[in-house]
Each structure stands twice: as C-alpha cells, then as structure tokens.
Structure 1
Amino acid sequence: MATHLLAVTWQKAPTTNAAHNGVLDKDFEAVLRLAREIDHEEERLRDWYLTAKISELGGKTAQELVQAGDVGLVIGFLRSIGRGYRD
C-alpha cells in the first residue's frame, strides 16, 4: 500500500480531568493500533497524528479529532485506508 502515515513514542498532552484523560488514552491507543497496521515507522506515525491535516475530516489532525471526541471519524478513515479505498 502506498499510504504513508506520519507518528514515535510521543507524549500525550496532559489534561487535568483524570476521567477525560482515560478516555483520550483509550481513543489514542485505538487510533495508534490501527495506524500501526498501515505504517510501522513510529516517527512517521507521530508526525501524522500530530500534524497531518486530514482533508476528508475537515482539515483537522488526528490529535485534534481525538481530543474533540471524534475518534470514530479517525478510526473510519484509517479503516478505509486499510481496506484500500484510499492511499
């Protein structure tokens, strides 16, 4: 597959709400797990998650979408790549 995601072991943004942080951690891990199926290079994954604007999802980054509670959109986007609908 020609798709290249951009993201490394990186630090998640701290939040002051522990319950909210737990949800973000689970969502982050779900996105990361799917992204790793597409690209195993941690640095590219980090860069993709933090900086790549996803035009199909309103020009927001995966991080912005996850933090806004739209993890389902990011997961759907990654699944479409995994199925070969997008590269």
Structure 2
Amino acid sequence: TKCFICGIGNDYFDTVPHGFETHTLQEHNLANYLFFLMYLINKDETEHTGQESYVWKMYQERCWEFFPAGDCFRKQYEDQLN
C-alpha cells in the first residue's frame, strides 16, 4: 500500500513512529487535497493568495508537481536525524 499523495509505501511508515494510518489520515489526507482544489475552483482568482495562485495555475495546466511526490515532513525529519 502506498500513500496516494506522496507515493511512499507503508513499509517505510512501519519503521517510523505513528505509522502509515496516521500519515494518510492526518499528514497527507486525500480529502484535504481535494477540498483545497474545490476551494480554489470556487474562489475568485483575483482573491487568490500567492500560494493559491501557484497551485491554481498548476492545476489548470494539469501539472501535479505541487504534490509532494516521494516526500513528507516525517521523512525529512527522519533523514535529518540520520
């Protein structure tokens, strides 16, 4: 099983605190990403913040690079510890 957002497998999360379920429910919750995109779709473009404008532009171009592919804060933290 892999996280839909970052693609990191549950085998990695079995080796770090809190596990795969916490990661997919709290850190990379798919519903949060979908809600954010729906929020941007329904918000006037002139009201977007800088970050919202960036994601909105990428969404319109069907470029998904704003998703943290292969990365997450916990992995960055664990990498710094090692």
Same fold (TM over 0.5): no
Structure number with larger C-alpha Rg? 2
TM-score, normalisation: structure 2: 0.31
